[in-house]
Amino acid sequence: MDLVLLGAPGAGKGTQASLLGEILPLPRVSSGDLFRAALANQTELGLKAKVYMDRGELVPDEITIGMVAERISQPDCAHGVIFDGFPRTVAQAQALDDLLGRMGRKVDLVIYIRVSTPVLLERLAGRWTCPKCGRVYHRLYSPEKVQGECDDCHVPLYQRDDDTPETQSRRIAVYLEQTAPLQAFYRERGLLVEVNGEQDIQAVHADIVKAIQKARGEAA
């Protein structure tokens, strides 16, 4: 199954992708995590992407699509992927259709996690991330067990450079301009299921699991 998680920055895509990873035997492909890993390794791709990430802008489609194409050509992605943060533009969605099409696959389901802007800002402000595994925590809503360190890796958590107030607002505006049109793109194709993202993490997860079961049932 190829599943896309769609939603604004802070909607809970990464959180839900991790939870799904525990029940769906599929790799999670997060374009943001791929860019951050490239940057940590000081690759040319990472350094190019950083300029855009620091401004809260999207990295150009050509760079992003190439990176994701490379990732999903790897053997662990042969049976499906949970996409988190990709596609983010109509051009990326079309490229994903082409890429999967060449593998005899297609996007099976798109979960749109709906969250209003004030809630997004509150979530981004309290987000702490593990530099090693990418797991996210929230000071109020999803705290780590031992303050300041990842439950799984036991390394210190950090706040992302692009989680400053100015960049947060810019990223939400960029989402509304460039990514929100994907809601209609996938709705027209009958692939979009909308989930209320303002519930607690487990309730959102339960709604997503229901949507996946329904999609699978109808496909069978």
The nearest distance, CB 208 to ligand ADP, in angstroms, is 11
The nearest distance, CB 116 to ligand ADP, in angstroms, is 12
Catalog residues that contact ligand ADP under the rule CB under 6 A: 7, 9-15, 31-32, 35, 52-53, 56-59, 64, 85-86, 88, 92, 123, 126-127, 136-138, 141-142, 162, 171, 200-201, 204
For residues 207 and 197, give the distance between their C-alpha atoms in angstroms, rounded to a whole number.
9
Strand partners, 113: 195
Q: State how beta strands 127-129 and 136-138 pair.
A: antiparallel
Q: Which of 88, 105, 123, 135 is catalytic?
A: 88
Instruction: Say if residues 64 and 92 touch (Cβ distance below 8 Å).
Output: yes
- Indicate which of Zn ion, ligand ADP, none lies near residue 12 (CB less than 5 to 8 Å, by partner kind): ligand ADP
Q: Which of 13, 28, 105, 135 is catalytic?
A: 13
The position carrying tokens 């709906």 is: 114
- Indicate which of ligand ADP, Zn ion, none lies near residue 134 (CB less than 5 to 8 Å, by partner kind): none
Q: Using omega within 30 degrees of 0 as the cis cutoff, is the peptide bond preceding 165 cis?
A: no
Residue 30, SS3 per DSSP: strand
> What count of Cα atoms within 13 Å lies in the side-chain half-sphere of residue 216?
10
Q: Which residues are catalytic?
A: 13, 88, 127, 160, 171
Residues that bind Zn ion (CB under 5 A): 130, 132-133, 135, 150, 152-153
